[in-house]
Structures are given as structure tokens and as C-alpha cells.
């Protein structure tokens, strides 16, 4: 056996070990789902050329994180009324148990939340999975709405946000996910785009994560991309606006 073959074999063993360790790090949670919902998620997995396990895990995590965010400002009754109504749309069918594989840390958080709200782990996971699906659909709709406001169209958005033209570069950066919107601005954007603030935050975060490396012509190597979005105050100050205009924008972050 030549050196190349040995290297390839070693790489294969390492990859297999990494896959095994990755699987070992996940925990299995039994979840009872309406058959209609299970079949819908299976169809999504086929469309995305992935597995049911991946789709169900992603949606559960998405739904659970939004559930946690909403629990900070919504009453338990209102929150579970919402989640129950989202799951109920799928319940005109039989039910099936599926195995949800999820990382130990998040599995522990789901179990803790289920205990806190006197729900079974299976029930909370099913609610979060259905909620994650609703959130994903909202993201698709939101992406189109935000896209329609980019470029020259942003001038029509500014009055709705109670802002003037000098805020254009900032709002453009917020829509691209490069600048973190302060709470007041996020609330206005949520009203304009008719989307929950938590979904907007997720959308902007994903936009930042998907950003492309900018084109450049440099002799000393590529520029480093920021690992997190720029804060609102830093972005405002970087524009060197007249004091009154800068104050108007900075006040949004107070």
C-alpha cells in the first residue's frame, strides 16, 4: 500500500470517527407528531435534498429559541395558546412517534422548560417543531418584503420608520444584517414588515452569516470580515454626521 493510500485510509478513519462522535453527542427525544405534520416535514426534507431528522431538528431548535425569546415578554397562557393553535392545524389526522436527535445542551433546556411549564418533553418539542415551521414560512415571506425595500426603494421605507434621508446608509446596512438595529428601530421595522421582532432578528442574523466576501484589490492579503454585526452607536458615529442628525439616530438606541 502506498503512502497516498495510507493517507486516504487515515482520512477515512478520522472522518468516520468524527461522524460517530458527532452522532454520539446528540440525544434522542421521542416526539408524538400528527401524521399530516410528519408527512409535510418529510416532503420538505425531500425538496431540500436532506433528511427528515435534519429538518425536524432545525425547526425544533428554531421554534424553541423563539419560544424562549417570547417567554420574556408574553404570558405563558398567551404563548401556549399561540403554539397550540399552530400545532392544531395539523391535528385532523392520526399521530406517529418520531425520534428527534438534538444536542445535549439544548435537549436539557427543552426538558427544563417542559418541567417549568408542566408539559411533557414530547408535547413541548412538537409545539416547537410546528412553531419553527411557521417561523420558517414567515422568514420566506420576510425575505421578499425586505428585498423589495433595498436599493432605490429604501427612500420609500424611511418615512415609515420616521427617519430622514441621512439615515439611508444605516438602514441599508441594517437590512443587510451588517448593523444591529436598536430596539426602537426593530419595533418600527417589525410594524412595517408585519413580522415578529424575533423573526426579524433571526432574518438579519442569517443575512449577516450569509454575507459574501467583498471584492478587493489589495497587495497585503484579503481583508478580514467582522465576526459580528456592528453596533448601532458605532455605525452612527462612523458616518461623521452633523451633531443634530447623529443625536437623532443615537436616540433610537437609548
CA dihedral 77, 79, 85, 88 (to 10 degrees): -90
pLDDT tens-digit series, residues 97-145: 999 999 999 999 999 999 999 999 999 999 999 999 998 888 888 988 9
Q: How far apart are CA 233 and CA 197, in angstroms?
A: 20
Contacts 24+ apart (CB under 8 A), 233-241: 235/170, 235/173, 235/179, 236/170, 239/166, 239/169, 239/170, 241/166
**Residue 225 dihedral angles phi and psi, to the nearest 5°:** -85, 145
**Residue 102 dihedral angles phi and psi, to the nearest 5°:** -145, 155
Instruction: List Cβ neighbours of 102 (8 Å cut-off, separation of 6 or more).
Output: 26, 27, 29, 57, 60, 61, 110
For 156-223, give the DSSP string. Answer: HHGGGGT--GGGHHHHHHHHTTSBPPPHHHHHHHHHHHT--HHHHHHHHHHHHHTPPPPP---SS-PP
Residues of the chain with pLDDT under 70: 1-24, 210-227
What Rg do the C-alpha atoms of the chain give, in angstroms? 23
Q: How far apart are CA 192 and CA 148, in angstroms?
A: 12
Model pLDDT, residue 57: 94
Strand partners, 32: 97
Model pLDDT, residue 10: 44
Whether the CB-CB separation of 86 and 66 falls below 8 Å is answered with no
What cell numbers appear for 213 in the block? 466576501
SS3 97: strand
Amino acid at each position: 500500500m502506498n503512502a497516498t493510500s495510507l493517507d486516504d485510509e487515515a482520512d477515512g478513519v478520522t472522518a468516520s470517527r468524527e461522524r460517530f462522535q458527532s452522532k454520539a453527542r446528540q440525544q434522542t427525544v421521542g416526539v408524538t407528531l400528527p401524521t399530516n405534520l410528519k408527512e409535510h416535514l418529510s416532503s420538505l426534507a425531500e425538496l431540500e435534498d436532506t433528511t427528515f431528522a435534519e429538518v425536524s431538528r432545525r425547526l425544533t431548535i428554531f421554534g424553541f429559541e423563539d419560544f424562549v425569546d417570547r417567554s420574556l415578554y408574553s404570558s405563558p397562557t398567551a404563548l401556549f395558546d399561540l403554539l397550540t393553535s399552530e400545532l392544531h392545524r395539523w391535528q385532523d389526522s392520526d399521530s406517529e412517534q418520531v425520534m428527534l436527535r438534538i444536542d445535549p445542551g439544548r435537549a436539557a433546556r427543552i426538558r427544563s422548560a417542559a418541567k417549568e411549564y408542566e408539559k411533557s418533553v414530547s408535547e413541548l418539542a412538537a409545539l416547537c417543531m410546528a412553531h419553527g415551521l411557521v417561523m420558517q414560512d414567515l422568514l420566506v415571506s420576510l425575505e421578499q418584503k425586505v428585498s423589495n425595500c433595498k436599493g432605490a426603494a429604501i427612500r420609500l421605507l424611511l418615512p415609515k420608520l420616521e427617519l430622514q434621508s441621512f439615515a439611508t446608509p444605516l438602514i441599508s446596512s441594517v437590512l443587510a444584517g451588517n448593523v444591529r438595529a436598536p430596539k426602537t428601530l426593530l419595533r418600527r421595522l417589525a410594524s412595517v414588515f408585519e413580522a415578529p421582532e424575533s423573526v426579524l432578528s433571526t432574518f438579519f442574523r442569517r443575512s449577516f452569516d450569509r454575507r459574501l466576501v467583498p471584492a478587493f484589490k489589495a497587495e497585503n492579503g484579503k481583508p478580514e470580515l467582522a465576526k459580528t454585526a456592528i453596533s448601532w452607536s458605532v455605525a452612527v458615529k462612523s458616518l461623521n454626521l452633523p451633531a443634530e442628525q447623529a443625536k437623532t439616530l443615537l436616540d433610537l438606541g437609548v
